[in-house]
Amino acid sequence: MNSALQFEGRRRSSGVLNLTPLIDVVFLLLIFFMLTAQFTAERVLPIDLPTAAGAPITAAPEPPLEVTLLTEVAVQLAGEPIAGGVAALFEPLQRALALSRSKALQLRGDRSVSLATLVQVLEMAQRAGAQRVDVVTVAH
């Protein structure tokens, strides 16, 4: 019995690594990502657009109406001071927006003006007929 053990000898390992399990894992990951990826097909409607003989005429954009809040009392509409402050702003704002084609309003306010005053002016602008209100700030 001892002689059988002598012939068995030592197993020799080659210096080459078995890459088959690694390749299997890579293929499984590839299949997983291919199945879970979202492929979106953009749908394009065939539209036959009309042609024009000349260039389109576009009107110059109307500058928006500007409201400046210096304090709760000092308010300007299009550069003109409003007597009575924010409380008296609604009627002149409504008249100015009625004459405006764009119904756009730019709102500038001093840092010291309270949030309540700003909200009050935004509500007035909505009731007066403003369709777009931009709050102007200074970029840092």
Please tell me whether the overall predicted TM-score, pTM, comes out greater than 0.85 for this model: no
- Helix 90-99, helix 115-128: angle, nearest 10: 40
Per-residue pLDDT of the chain (140 residues; tens, 9 = 90+): 555 556 666 666 667 888 899 999 999 999 998 888 776 666 655 655 556 666 555 555 777 788 888 777 778 888 788 887 778 888 888 888 888 888 888 888 777 778 888 888 888 888 888 888 887 766 54
The CA distance from 44 to 97, in Å, is 40
What fold does the segment set 65-136 form as a domain?
A: Nucleotidyltransferase; domain 5 (3.30.420)
The CA distance from 70 to 72, in Å, is 7
Count Cβ atoms below 10 Å from residue 68 Cβ, excluding itself: 19
**pLDDT in the model for residue 93:** 83
The domain locations on the chain are: 65-136
The CA distance from 107 to 109, in Å, is 7
Q: Order of strands, edge to edge, in the sheet holding 65-69?
A: 80-82, 75-77, 65-69, 104-109, 132-136
The CA distance from 71 to 12, in Å, is 91
